[in-house]
């Protein structure tokens, strides 16, 4: 593992799954870690990580849909740890949606939940953190998207037939990743997204149960594990200031969990 002593990382949705895996690895590497989640168990997770490592760990219960909470938590973390270097915008939710069967009320409620959490939450996290990353002389943002927008070779984009709002929220993250990476390149802030396939988490377990999918030991054991994505995140971070930026990085089942070759940087049609 790399040495992140003196660095500060902020992770949203850190009380379980991918967020927990990322936070734990960052702390194991020596970074101070600020964890937030809508679940109150984030405090016990922070205590656990603090006990297992020598890192300083801060936690708070926040809703990433609420700007005041996101900005206050980010500012508090920066003040407590004297800076910010790494941001993992992981918080996300899923629920089944259907354009034929859903009532008007359910459709609007689902839109508000999924778009405000998955897209607005990433937006607010980035906007709260970016000024601090720039002031630190550079930094690293990792947005958590989905393989629905970056599928393995030979497969179409998009999720299932009951994922229209979820997919819309995750496609929006691509716009943030692309625009931020261009705007922040001169400030040495790199912005990328992980677009991963099935990873063991509360979300995929809930979705699998909802769709009555096979959840045998063989299936669950085939899912990627949060610590594997965390290790890949460290590898991506370790590319340094000259590393890739603006990439959607696909991570798929039955494929190596590894960074792909860097993409060719094409000229932009817009300033």
Which residues are known to be catalytic?
Answer: 166
Nearest one of 48, 43, 83 to 61, comparing CA atoms: 43
The CA distances from residue 107 to 119, 163, 172, 260, in Å, are 17, 12, 18, 37
What is the greatest pairwise CA distance in the chain?
53
State the pairing for strand pair 57-61/86-89: unpaired
DSSP string, 192-210: EEEEE--BSSHHHHHHHHH
Q: Check if the beta carbon of residue 177 is closer than 8 Å to that of residue 191.
A: yes
The end-to-end CA distance of the chain, in Å, is: 38
């Amino acid at each position: 593992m790399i040495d992140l002593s003196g660095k500060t990382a902020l992770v949203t949705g850190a009380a379980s799954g991918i967020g927990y895996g990322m936070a734990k690895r960052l702390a194991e590497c020596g970074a101070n870690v600020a964890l937030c989640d809508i679940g109150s168990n984030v405090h016990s997770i922070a205590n656990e990580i603090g006990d297992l490592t020598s890192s300083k760990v801060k936690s708070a219960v926040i809703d990433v849909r609420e700007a005041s909470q996101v900005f206050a938590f980010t500012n508090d973390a920066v003040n407590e740890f004297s800076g910010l270097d790494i941001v993992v915008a992981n918080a996300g939710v899923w629920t089944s949606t259907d354009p034929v069967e859903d009532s008007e009320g359910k459709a609007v409620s689902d839109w508000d939940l999924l778009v405000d959490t998955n897209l607005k939450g990433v937006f607010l996290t980035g906007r709260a953190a970016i000024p601090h990353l720039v002031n630190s002389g550079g930094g690293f943002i990792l947005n958590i998207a989905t393989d629905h927008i970056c599928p393995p070779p030979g497969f179409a984009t998009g999720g299932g037939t009951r994922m229209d709002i979820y997919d819309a929220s995750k496609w929006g993250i691509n716009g943030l990743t692309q625009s931020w990476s261009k705007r922040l390149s001169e400030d040495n802030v790199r912005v990328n997204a992980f677009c991963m396939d099935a990873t063991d988490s509360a979300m995929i377990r809930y979705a699998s149960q909802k769709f009555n999918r096979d959840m045998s030991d063989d299936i669950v054991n085939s899912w990627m594990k949060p610590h594997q994505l965390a290790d890949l995140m460290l590898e991506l971070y370790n590319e340094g200031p000259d590393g890739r930026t603006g990439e959607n990085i696909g991570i798929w089942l039955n494929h190596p969990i590894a960074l792909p070759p860097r993409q060719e940087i094409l000229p932009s049609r817009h300033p």
